Amino acid sequence: MHELSIALGILEMLEKNNYLKDIKIVKTINLTIGNYSGIDKNYLEFAFQNLGDNRFKIVILDCNYNETDDIKVNEIIAD
Amino acid sequence: MYPEHKKISIQRNALEANEIIAKSNKSKFELNKIFVVNMLSSPGSGKTSILEHIIPILKNKNIKACVIEGDVETDLDKKRIDALNIPSYQIITKGTCHLDARMIDKSLLNIDLNNLDILFIENVGNLVCPTSFNLGEDFKAVVLSITEGDDKPLKYPAAFYKSEIMIINKIDLLKVLDSNIEKIKENALSINNNLKIFKVSCKTNEGVNGLTDYFIKQVFIKQQR
């Protein structure tokens, strides 16, 4: 279940680049997931909700798919 | 959407943190002109057996090889590599289903990069998870044994899409199985038309020299860059 590592990687990227400053709760993450990335959207959503980080406890993933191996975070919607 | 919600544009690679470390690993390999192969497969397809067969040939040709072994538990594979009298390093992931760039970065502290021509990274046996994580390698090699079925490339496309070569192992069993090697090739090429395909048997040694020659050629190309 590498989706947990992907979720942790996204969290690290968001933290390092200061996107989570003053954010209390992340409601939606919009992602582009390539069909060759080996990612299952439902597992990734479950991984975020169970990271132990309350900001992601109810997060919903909104995914676009393409014919690549990309895993890209496009946008977050947060309070 | 409620007006109090903030929309924050990100537009970044989800695995940016891993990519940064992978690039650093790659710089170290480039500096020392080391050719690096990330080997992927299901458990039991024969990654370690293939290494046991090609490394002695590399040694005879004075090509210095090293293996990083990735396993969920045990150093059994490392012990098999140690019997070949080459340097090796074991990463035990304790449940994690793949290697990532940070694990490789740490393991490089234990490897003499100045004295190496080729590094094999034997990833955790798993055809899904390791495909997402760049380690800084030159290319990925996917190993598929014919016992796994000819539909494997279609069921696990990412591993075949991202690999430069596919090694079909255990071809000595073709005579007793219903596997269709042409179907395996056709399915793999439908995912990645550029895939180079090698057929080997670690029982009969068929195809082992051809595969080893290919790696030797890659080492020379790397050293001439």
ipTM of the shown complex: 0.93
CB atoms A77 and B7 under 8 Å: yes
> What is the H or E stretch that residue B157 is in?
helix B157-161
Nearest to A36 among B8, B129, B157 (CB): B157
Judge: A13–B12 Cβ closer than 8 Å, yes or no. Answer: yes
Closest CA to B127 of B104, B106, B167, B158: B158
Question: Phi and psi (nearest 5°) for B10?
Answer: -115, -60
Check CB contact under 8 Å for A73 and B6.
no
**pLDDT of A21-51, one tens digit each?**
999 999 999 999 999 888 899 999 999 999 9
Q: In Å, how far is B156's CA from the nearest CA of chain A?
A: 8
Tell me which of B176 and B2 has the higher pLDDT.
B176
Per residue in B116-147, pLDDT (tens digit) is: 999 999 999 999 999 999 999 999 999 999 99
Question: Alpha carbon of B50 to those of A23, B80, B195, B211: distances in Å?
Answer: 51, 11, 19, 10
Per-residue model confidence (pLDDT) at position A38 = 84
Q: What is the pLDDT of residue B219?
A: 98
The structure tokens listed for B97 are 């289903």
Q: Do the chains contact at B14 and A9, CB–CB below 8 Å?
A: yes
Amino acid at the residue A30: N
Q: What residue type is assigned to position B106 of the chain?
A: K
> B3-7, B36-40, B58-62, B198-202: lowest mean pLDDT where?
B3-7
How is A7-60 classified by DSSP, letter by letter? Answer: HHHHHHHHHHTTTTTT-S-EEEEEEEEETTS---HHHHHHHHHTSS-GGGTT-E
Q: Which of A16, A38, A70 sits opposite B17 (nearest CB)?
A: A16
DSSP B45: S
The gap from C-alpha A14 to its chain's centroid, in whole angstroms, comes to 10
Which pLDDT score, from 0 to 100, does residue B4 have? 73
Q: Per this entry, what is the length of chain B?
A: 225
Rounded Cα distance between A28 and A10, Å, is 13
- Amino acid B62: pLDDT: 97
List chain B residues with CB under 8 Å of A70. 13
Alpha-helical runs (H) found in B1-46: 16-31
Residue B3 clears pLDDT 80, i.e. is over it:
no
Q: Quote the minimal CA–CA distance from B1 to chain A in Å.
A: 10
A vs B: CB pairs below 8 A: 96
